[in-house]
Structure 1
């Protein structure tokens, strides 16, 4: 029997470099192509890590990104130059996921990260001070508390900035000297930190945040922008949801049967039709809700349904389990979106062959 005071040491979520350490090691061992300074593997190997593949040894590398390979090639090639990388897209298009895996594969750590918010200060981008040392001995290099950006510069690694456009405009300007001159001045010490070879920066931004804190033209020029689109096909989106839900099930040790393809297809179909405003066969237009209905939300709906089935059902994902999370995903505006959802149920779901159980469950919970 386990004591109630026992604390599990298992991590809820491992960083990419830890979760996929075996794959990274196998790629490094088999990689004989030229590597940019301070990179752990060649650009081609980084793309293989992201897109998946089979190594000459027969080792299988799992895909981390399901989409256009050329986008990943452009992103990786950018990081091998003096241009920083901006991953742009609507919510749920795997921007943070790709950013994390790029950093893990290239430099071995994805942890050098600044989370952009309205309260992000210059200290989070540049440096702060150890005030005990500052008061005791005055300004010195030892008293400087380096930001993740500064530490990445010193070590020649990749730094990450999440939600760049959430950072106030006056604070964003702190990146300009770092990206253009590859130095970070410390005026208090009449010194500067010069970036070691291998340093670069990956930023992510939600293109629905345009107008929140628009990037200046000077800062935009320092980035090469790669737009990550929603999954191009139903099959691609189903593959993404299936893969991520399976990973969630393992991580949270959910005692339920893996969801069948039909259940995932239903959720993906609903999300795509409401997101695009037309049924998959192109025959009927549907009203669109106010939310984005991203792939990430589809993963949450299926994952939540799986937890319901495991802990409050018979361990098999049912229509009732799925619709319990769908309402909250679709209905962000309780007035407008509720009307959209009810109309979609009556005009599309009700008439669809094989969806009667889903329709009844959705109507019961609406």
Structure 2
């Protein structure tokens, strides 16, 4: 059989979850696979008493993860909020995997998401032949999560039209999903909760109503606080993705990762890392996830069309594509950054030449 491109978290990290479950002697909320302590350990990483190493899934403030897990342990829903690329979906998936052992109860929010995708739909052949019945009902991931006492994930909540968002109010407040066509309802089993994600940089987002906001406890996931922290995140994910994609290139040198991360941070923050020079910022988000993508793209170029060693020329095209989203405004910002910052750094001459060749 052909291997899947990306395994669900509960499958990819099955050994870690199993080892944590064996070592976990703390109280577990109803229907949880692990205790809150073990869930946080799974996310943040650490060494168990038996010497087993749990890898870090989230590199950042441990307290944020504790707040997120504590929220899910109550009757409140959790909203992970922040700029794109701050690991909201990643954290949501791993929380669901550790708590429910199942991260697949997923509703992807888009402008076209309908009320039926959140509540339930119908098998119209069955509906026309026999009328409304349990057999004709097509449960949504939300309904299945309620029945089984698991976590339902809603990605990009603010992309969903406002009137459809409000479908969640009854689910979150009453823990029930009415099915008026059958004169019945689905009541949530213990362990059920909702983890939603939203970002504040999308064009045309739909603000949550105050009634819906009150049903969520919001945890804001920040961009990495330091360059060292962001570099460690990028290095970890680049190595993981490189192995998963079987890229025929050597893992990039730390120096190369650090240079890409610094460019992203300086343009994102509107100043050089030493704070001495102010910079114009592009319209792109320049998230950590995009830095990872730039380096992986460079590794693919180096592996398939070069000698397998990541160099400045391999990263140049991906970097420009990440920065220059608006061909007029962003091009001015990028050119100015090249001439005033990159060109002046003696150790970045190869980067400057590679970037100029792409213009």
Q: CA–CA distance in 1 between the matches of 2:205 and 2:343?
A: 40
TM-score (norm. length: structure 2)? 0.99
Q: What corresponds to 1:307 in structure 2?
A: 300
Which of residues 214, 217, 221 is equivalent to 1:221?
Answer: 214
1:207/1:361 CA distance change after superposition, 3 Å = same
Q: Distance in 1 between matches of 2:142 and 2:164?
A: 14
Please give the TM-score of this superposition, normalised by the length of structure 1. Answer: 0.97
Contact residue 31 and residue 42 of structure 1 kept, 8 A? yes
Shift of 1:212: 2.2
Is the Cα–Cα contact under 8 Å of residues 127 and 147 in structure 1 kept in the other structure? yes
> How much has 1:135 moved relative to structure 2?
2.2
Deviation at 1:27, TM superposition (A): 0.4
CA distance in 1, matches of 2:145, 2:183: 21
Which residue number in structure 2 is paired with residue 321 of structure 1?
Answer: 314
| Distance (whole Å) between structure 2 residues aligned to residue 324 and residue 211 of structure 1 | 29
- The 8 Å contact of residues 159 and 201 in structure 1, kept in 2 or not, is answered as yes
Distance in 1, matches of 2:334 and 2:205, equals: 29
In 1, Cα distance between equivalents of 2:85 and 2:313? 25
Deviations 1:139-176 (A, max 9, x none): 11222110000000000000000000000011111100
Please name the residue that 1:3 is paired with: none
CA contact under 8 A between 1:50 and 1:64: conserved in structure 2? yes
1:288 aligns with 2:293: no
Give the Cα separation in 2 of the matches to 1:87 and 1:27: 25
Per the TM alignment, residue 211 of structure 1 is displaced from its structure 2 partner at its CA by: 6.0
2:43 aligns with one of 46, 50, 61: 50
CA separation in 1, counterparts of 2:136 and 2:323?
A: 50
Total equivalences in the alignment = 359
Which ranges of 4 or more aligned residues in structure 1 deviate by more than 3 Å?
A: none
Once the two structures are TM-superposed, the CA of residue 208 in structure 1 deviates from its matched residue by: 1.9
1:71 and 2:64 matched: yes
User: Is 1:133 aligned with 2:126?
Assistant: yes
Tell me, in whole angstroms, the C-alpha distance in 2 between the residues paired with 1:137 and 1:45: 48
Alignment RMSD, CA only? Answer: 0.9
Asked whether the 8 Å contact 1:278–1:284 carries over to 2, the reply is yes
| Unaligned ranges ≥5, structure 2 | none
1:267 and 2:229 aligned: no
Counterpart in the other structure of 1:110: 103
Cα distance, 1:353 vs structure 2: 2.7
Whether the aligned pair in 2 keeps the contact of 1:165 and 1:210 (CA below 8 Å) is no
Partner of 1:5: none
C-alpha separation in 1, matches of 2:126 and 2:330: 56
Query: For structure 1, which runs of at least 5 residues remain unmatched after alignment?
Result: 1-7
